[in-house]
Each structure stands twice: as structure tokens, then as C-alpha cells.
């Protein structure tokens, strides 16, 4: 396989920074054993590397790859690549998209809504205490779930949660998102959106615009007792602000799958908080096979000069 613009044989660099990446490395080697895939750079520079397949790029790496053309994320988000300060404008960036990812996320979000809505912690405590005590069953039609981010994942989540009987509304940064739920757009629609949300679900991408977006002022606009679910990226929610509002009683609790620092430090006040549920960034993960196939397809498209699958608009961050 040769890339048309340089006529160099394709050489792929993968940075094995986690088991998540390693699984994709092993699948790529098994699927395309003829492909030249390396896991480190020998020497100061490597002019033969034309593609990266990674999750996060360390500072100083990209200047050592003078002929890089493609930086492909092994995951659904590309923030780990776009966050590299020395990413050349000429390098194309892609992210992994899998049809099943939306359903997996919908299962996670539904799980977190239902465990709170149907008082599962109370029922578990009663079970442990050998108590037979009925709890009230609320009417889901009287509760609104607000979903921030209605892309390929968020739109599936909206449909599934609506099928559970909840009223579902969505918020997006800009017009043009096709959805089967009422949609609020931009800053002008934010307050009206937040004022209705008994459950707030964050599925936004990590960008310069979303960093720290969900802070105390933002969360204070939610109704009393609202429950917050973050399954997007750490850093979008100001964690200290959220915990303070939970402790003050304005928020009813939260379920977080992502954090500003991962793994979550043992000293974090999230651990052991009676109104908070922590999961280890497992809400939804692209299956290995489709991600590898998309990467290989994009190598072929790059060679032909065709548009890439799931190319990121770097001005938007997704």
C-alpha cells in the first residue's frame, strides 16, 4: 500500500499507552499482517511514518514525523489527538464510529437513570436489612431527561430513553441535528433547556468550548433534585462544583463514568459519596473489529485521494 502524495510505503505508528490500545494493535496485526506497524520511533525522526493509530499523543512526538498524513483515533473521541499542541494543519484526523456504540451508551444511560428513578439504592439497603417495605413508583411521563449532544450516539440514547416513557429533550451547539425529540440550540436555548431537566445527560465532545462548561452557575439552573449523568469526557463538568451542589441539596445525585483525572485518584471525594455512583470509563467502547476495518479503509482512501470515513472537523473538534 502506498500513499499517493509521497509514494512512500505505508508505515503505521501505534503508541501502546493502555490495554485498550494494545487490543487494537493486536487486532490490526492479525487482520493485516503485511502492514508495517511499529510501536516506537528509532532515532530522532522517522520520515517513513505516514499514519498514526492512537488514543493520545505526547507533546514533542509529531515534529519527529515529518511525513505524517493521518492521525486516527482508536476511540470515539479525537480529543487526545486534537489536544496535541504541535499537530500540523495538514494532518487529517479521524475518529472511530461504530453503529453499536450508540446502543451501548443508551444501555448505560438508561441504567443510571433507572437505578435512581426506581430507587435501587434504597431497595438494596432494605434487602441487606431484611426489610419488606414498599417504595413509591413514580410516573416516568412526569420526568424530563435532557441530553446534551445529539450526534450519532446521543440520538440513539434519546430514542431509547424516550421508549422507557420519559419526556426527552436535547441540546446542541448549532442547528442541523436531526432528532425525534424537541431540540434547544446554542446559548439562547440553554436556560430553557436546563430548567426542564430532571435528569441531565452529558454526551458532548471534549473541545475548547465545552471545557468547564458545566459549572456551578450552569448546574444551579437545573430544577431542585435534578440528577446528573456524565458519560462524555472528563473536564466538561467542574467536579468540585457538582459535588458542592449535591452536598447542599440542590442536586439529587450524580453518576459519572469519566473524570478530569483518570484513573480516579483514591483521594477523590467522589469515592464513597452516598449520592454519587462512579464507573471506570466503561459506558461504551467501540468494538475492536469495526475500528480496525475503518482504519484500514481510511489508509486505502488516503492512497486514492478519496474523502476519509469519520474525518474530524478540526474547527469543531468532532
Contact 310, 294 (CB under 8 A): yes
Which top CATH class is 11-98+286-304? alpha beta
Torsion angle, CA of 251/257/262/263, rounded to 10 degrees?
Answer: 110
Contact 243, 217 (CB under 8 A): no
Point out the least confidently predicted range of 113-117, 301-305, 311-315. Answer: 311-315
Spatial distance between the Cα atoms of 137 and 139, rounded to a whole number of angstroms = 7
For residue 59, the model assigns a pLDDT of 85
Catalytic residue positions, numbered? 233, 281
Confidence of residue 248 (pLDDT cuts 50, 70, 90): very high
Spatial distance between the Cα atoms of 144 and 165, rounded to a whole number of angstroms = 10
Write the DSSP symbol of residue 223: P
Average pLDDT over the chain reads: 93
Q: Cell 511525513 belongs to which residue?
A: 67
**Ramachandran sector of residue 176 (left: φ over 0; alpha: ψ -120 to 50; beta: rest):** left
Q: Which three cell numbers stand for residue 259?
A: 473524570
- The stretch 228-248 carries a mean pLDDT of 97
For residue 38, the model assigns a pLDDT of 96
Q: What is the pLDDT of residues 17-74, one digit of tens each?
A: 988 899 999 999 999 999 999 999 988 999 999 999 999 898 899 999 999 999 999 9
Q: What is the pLDDT of residues 274-304, one digit of tens each?
A: 999 999 999 998 789 999 999 999 999 999 9
Confidence of residue 175 (pLDDT cuts 50, 70, 90): confident
- The stretch 66-94 carries a mean pLDDT of 92
**Every domain range in the chain assigned CATH 3.40.50.720:** 11-98+286-304, 99-278
Q: What is the pLDDT of residues 263-272, one digit of tens each?
A: 999 999 999 9
Q: What is the pLDDT of residues 189-231, one digit of tens each?
A: 999 999 999 999 999 988 888 999 999 999 999 999 999 999 9
For residue 177, the model assigns a pLDDT of 65
For residue 75, the model assigns a pLDDT of 87
Confidence of residue 178 (pLDDT cuts 50, 70, 90): low
In this structure, which CATH number among 3.30.1180.20, 3.40.50.720, 3.10.520.10, 3.90.1150.10 belongs to the domain 99-278?
3.40.50.720
Spatial distance between the Cα atoms of 183 and 146, rounded to a whole number of angstroms = 10
For residue 275, the model assigns a pLDDT of 97
- The stretch 233-258 carries a mean pLDDT of 97
For residue 244, the model assigns a pLDDT of 98
For residue 207, the model assigns a pLDDT of 86
Q: Is 98 exposed, middle or buried (0-12, 13-18, 19+ CB in 10 A)?
A: buried
- The stretch 292-318 carries a mean pLDDT of 92
Contact 271, 264 (CB under 8 A): yes
Spatial distance between the Cα atoms of 212 and 4, rounded to a whole number of angstroms = 41
For residue 8, the model assigns a pLDDT of 66
Amino acid at each position: 500500500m502506498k500513499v499517493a502524495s509521497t509514494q512512500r510505503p505505508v508505515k503505521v505508528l501505534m503508541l501502546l499507552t493502555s490495554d485498550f490500545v494494545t487490543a487494537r494493535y493486536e487486532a490490526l496485526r492479525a487482520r493485516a499482517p503485511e502492514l508495517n506497524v511499529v510501536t516506537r520511533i528509532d532515532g530522532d525522526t522517522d520520515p517513513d511514518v505516514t499514519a498514526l493509530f492512537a488514543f493520545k499523543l505526547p507533546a514533542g512526538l509529531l515534529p519527529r514525523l515529518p511525513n505524517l498524513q493521518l492521525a486516527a483515533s482508536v476511540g470515539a473521541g479525537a480529543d487526545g489527538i486534537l489536544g496535541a499542541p504541535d499537530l500540523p494543519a495538514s494532518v487529517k484526523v479521524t475518529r472511530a464510529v461504530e453503529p453499536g456504540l450508540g446502543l451501548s451508551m443508551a444501555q448505560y444511560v438508561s441504567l443510571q437513570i433507572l437505578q435512581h428513578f426506581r430507587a435501587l439504592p434504597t431497595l438494596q439497603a432494605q434487602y441487606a436489612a431484611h426489610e419488606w417495605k414498599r417504595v413509591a413508583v413514580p410516573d416516568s411521563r412526569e420526568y424530563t431527561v435532557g441530553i446534551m449532544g445529539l450526534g450519532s450516539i446521543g440520538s440513539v440514547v434519546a430514542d431509547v430513553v424516550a421508549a422507557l416513557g420519559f419526556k426527552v429533550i436535547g441540546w446542541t451547539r448549532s442547528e442541523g441535528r436531526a432528532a425525534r425529540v424537541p431540540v434547544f440550540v446554542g446559548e439562547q436555548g440553554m436556560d430553557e433547556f436546563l430548567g426542564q431537566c430532571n435528569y441531565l445527560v452529558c454526551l458532548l465532545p471534549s473541545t475548547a468550548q465545552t471545557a468547564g462548561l458545566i459549572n456551578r452557575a450552569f448546574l444551579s439552573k437545573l430544577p431542585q433534585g435534578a440528577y446528573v449523568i456524565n458519560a462524555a469526557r472528563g473536564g466538561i463538568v467542574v467536579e468540585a462544583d457538582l459535588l458542592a451542589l449535591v452536598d447542599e441539596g440542590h442536586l439529587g445525585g450524580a453518576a459519572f463514568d469519566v473524570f478530569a483525572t483518570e484513573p480516579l485518584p483514591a483521594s477523590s471525594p467522589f469515592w464513597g459519596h452516598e449520592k454519587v455512583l462512579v464507573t471506570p470509563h466503561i459506558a461504551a467502547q467501540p468494538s475492536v473489529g469495526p475500528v480496525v476495518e475503518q482504519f484500514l479503509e481510511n489508509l486505502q482512501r488516503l492512497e486514492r485521494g478519496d474523502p476519509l470515513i469519520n474525518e474530524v472537523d478540526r474547527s469543531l473538534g468532532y
